[in-house]
Amino acid sequence: MTVKILKEHIFIVSFLLLLSLTACTGSSVYHDPMMDFSGIKSVAVMPFENLSADRYAGDRVRDAFMTSLMATGVVYVVPPGEVARGISRARVSNPMALSSEEVKQIGAILKVDAVILGTIREYGELRSGSGVAPVISLSMSMLEVQMGKMVWTAASTTGGVGVKERLFGGGGRPMNEITVKAINDILDKLFM
């Protein structure tokens, strides 16, 4: 009888753990083992590609990322107006997907050591059953300007409908808070 109750408890706990895993942060990361990241003192963050339904998501996340990256104090982030001038002067047609040549060209114009590209895969409210919660999914990559090759890439997904949202509703954390959380996760992966 006791064994049966114990099994039932284990089943319930396992089920809840599985449920909570559906809303936790997921990630992947790549660092070029040959790259000396301490040599990167200034970066230019290009406009992010936006694959979400929110038309301002790219701009919003880029602004938040630039501020958080600069707040680390490790690198200088070129102001967005200066990046726009660099893109215009390099006559880049699609600043969200740069070729190696374009990366070198922008690097020379803006006098930066690296260029960061980003993609917003999801940004907004996610509905699952009766639960609704904001979710953000983004990926970023860094290209050094000497060779124009990728030296770092990372992705992060934060938010979504978890156990709390399913059981109690409430709508999850505000969008700007989970954006900061996702960006911090990405930055952890950059400086790990």
Partner 1 sequence: MAGEIFLLASILLMAGPISANADGMENRWTSKYGPIAVLPIVNLSGIPAPLKEIRDALIAELTYRDIAVLDDQSLETFMARHRLRDSSAIDNDLAAAFHKETPARWVLITTLEFYRESFPPKVALSSRLVRAGEKATIEWMDGAGLQGDQSPGFFDRGMIRDFRSLLTKALRQISGSLADHLAGFSRQNSPVSSKYEPKVFYQAAAEFPAERPMIIAIMPFLNKADRKYGAAILAEHILKSSFQSPRIRVLEPGTIRQALYKYRMIMPSGMSEADAELILSEIPEADLLITGIVEEYYDSQSANDFPRVDFYLLAINRKGKLVWNSRSFNRGDEGVWFFDVGSVKSAYTLTDRMVRAAMEKMLHPDLAGEGRRKIQ
Binding positions for partner 1, rule: CB under 8 A:
56, 59-60, 63-64, 66-68, 70-74, 76-77, 79-85, 174, 176, 180, 184, 187-188, 191-192
Nearer to partner 1, 15 or 56 (CB): 56
Tell me the closest approach of the beta carbon of residue 6 to partner 1, in angstroms: 39
Pick from 115, 80, 79: which is nearest to 96 by CA?
115
Tell me the closest approach of the beta carbon of residue 16 to partner 1, in angstroms: 28
Alpha-carbon distance 69 to 75, whole Å?
7
Nearer to partner 1, 101 or 188 (CB): 188
**Three-state DSSP string of 111-158:** CCCEEEEEEEEEEEEEEECCEEEEEEEEEEEEEECCCCCEEEEEEEEE
Tell me the closest approach of the beta carbon of residue 88 to partner 1, in angstroms: 9
Tell me the closest approach of the beta carbon of residue 58 to partner 1, in angstroms: 11
Other Cβ atoms within 10 Å of 166 Cβ, number: 17
Nearer to partner 1, 32 or 54 (CB): 54
